């Protein structure tokens, strides 16, 4: 019996946090032996998804079965989570990127495996078809990460592009004190959409390009490519810099990107691959 004890369970998050949806809920759909942990159960393997030891929470130390810590994002770089002590209580560690794995291997001789963020391809709509000049770009993610868009606003205005922002909250409402020229431009060229896991692919397809600039915070080197992959699964090319944005203004270039990469992304990021990788690690343990 395999069980996940998730970040969302531990912190009573409703609806589940994005990391729980990606790293757990999608997997157990295709893993009959796995499910969410219920208090009182005694599974053979318990996977702690971004659940760390605290002064009051010591269960991972006392649990007698095999234990895996799934560190899905670099929230522990704030120095507040006892990451080394939690790893010491585990039999193995999983994470989504090789950069994070290399860092974590400095803390332990236990197995540290990369299991990428992958997606339920059975729910995908047909990829978007592209024609004509791009009119709209989209950014999506947690609102506090949207600061990365600020430097791109003059470029959007220059190219006459509308911006769709899909997030848990609207940063324009209370987080972005903008210069008047940017505020006036976005007044008629900005749409906020509340993030909804059920509609996210269709919402992404309302745009022509996914604008996902690379962040420059120290922890960004560890970040997963899950947003890039999700945009590509919707059939959107991803721009991270001015040069690629200008390239994808042309419909033929956007469609060429989809024609070249869509099938390989769909194959490589099928969540069932993550299930197989977990099973292999558990068999080794």
The residue behind tokens 């972005």 is 176
Same domain, 204 and 183: yes
Q: Which two tokens stand for residue 247?
A: 């390239």
Same domain, 206 and 278: no
Same domain, 31 and 137: no
DSSP symbols for 25-38:
IHHHTT-TTEEE--
Same domain, 155 and 33: no
- Give whole-number Cα distances, 251 to 75, 197, 215, 226, in Å: 38, 27, 27, 24
Given this model, what pLDDT does residue 22 score? 94
Given this model, what pLDDT does residue 145 score? 87
Decide: 197 and 159 in contact? Cβ < 8 Å: no
pTM above 0.95, yes or no: no
CA distance 167 to 132: 27
Same domain, 220 and 189: yes
- What's the total number of domains in the chain? 2
**CATH assignment at residue 113:** 3.40.50.2000
Same domain, 149 and 20: no
Q: What is the pLDDT of residues 48-72, one digit of tens each?
A: 999 999 888 898 898 999 999 999 8
Is pLDDT of 239 > 60?
Answer: yes
CA distance 118 to 72: 12
- Give whole-number Cα distances, 78 to 71, 144, 203, 217, in Å: 14, 15, 32, 12
Same domain, 257 and 128: yes
Same domain, 130 and 263: yes
CA distance 268 to 154: 35
Can you give the residue range of the structural domain that contains 102? Answer: 2-118+271-284
Q: Which two tokens stand for residue 36?
A: 């969410």
Given this model, what pLDDT does residue 172 score? 76
Q: What is the pLDDT of residues 137-180, one digit of tens each?
A: 999 998 888 888 888 988 999 999 999 999 999 887 655 555 66
Decide: 42 and 65 in contact? Cβ < 8 Å: yes
CA distance 193 to 200: 10
Q: What is the pLDDT of residues 113-137, one digit of tens each?
A: 999 999 999 999 999 999 999 999 9
Angle ∠(145,9,119) on CA atoms, nearest 5: 60
Same domain, 252 and 173: yes
Range 39-65 burial, b when 16+ CB lie within 10 A, else e? eeeebebbbbbbbbbeeeeeebeebee
Decide: 49 and 5 in contact? Cβ < 8 Å: yes
- Is-cis flag, bond preceding 15, omega within 30? yes
Same domain, 99 and 149: no
């Amino acid at each position: 019996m395999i069980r996940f004890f998730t970040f969302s369970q531990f912190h009573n998050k409703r609806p589940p946090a994005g990391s729980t949806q990606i790293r757990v809920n999608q997997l157990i759909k295709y893993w009959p032996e796995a499910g969410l942990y219920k208090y009182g159960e005694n599974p053979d393997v318990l996977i702690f998804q971004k659940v760390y030891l605290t002064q009051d929470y010591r269960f991972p130390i006392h649990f007698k079965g095999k234990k895996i810590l799934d560190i899905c994002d670099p929230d522990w770089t704030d120095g507040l989570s006892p990451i080394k002590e939690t790893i010491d209580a585990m039999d193995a560690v999983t994470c989504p990127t090789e950069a994070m794995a290399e860092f974590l291997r400095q803390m332990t001789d236990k197995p540290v495996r990369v299991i990428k963020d992958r997606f339920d391809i059975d729910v995908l709509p047909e990829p978007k078809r592209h024609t004509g000049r791009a009119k709209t770009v989209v950014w999506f993610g947690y609102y506090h990460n949207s600061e990365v868009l600020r430097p791109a606003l003059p470029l959007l205005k220059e190219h006459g592009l509308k911006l769709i922002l899909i997030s848990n909250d609207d940063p324009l409402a209370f987080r972005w004190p903008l210069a008047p020229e940017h505020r006036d431009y976005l007044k008629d060229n900005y749409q906020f959409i509340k993030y909804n896991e059920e509609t996210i692919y269709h919402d992404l397809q309302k745009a022509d390009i996914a604008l996902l600039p690379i962040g420059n915070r120290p922890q960004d080197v560890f970040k997963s490519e899950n947003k890039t992959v999700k945009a590509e699964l919707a059939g959107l090319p991803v721009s991270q810099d001015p040069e690629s944005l200008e390239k994808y203004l042309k419909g033929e270039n956007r469609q060429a990107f989809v024609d070249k990469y869509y099938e390989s992304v769909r194959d490589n990021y099928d969540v069932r691959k993550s299930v197989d990788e977990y099973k292999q690690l558990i068999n080794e343990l």
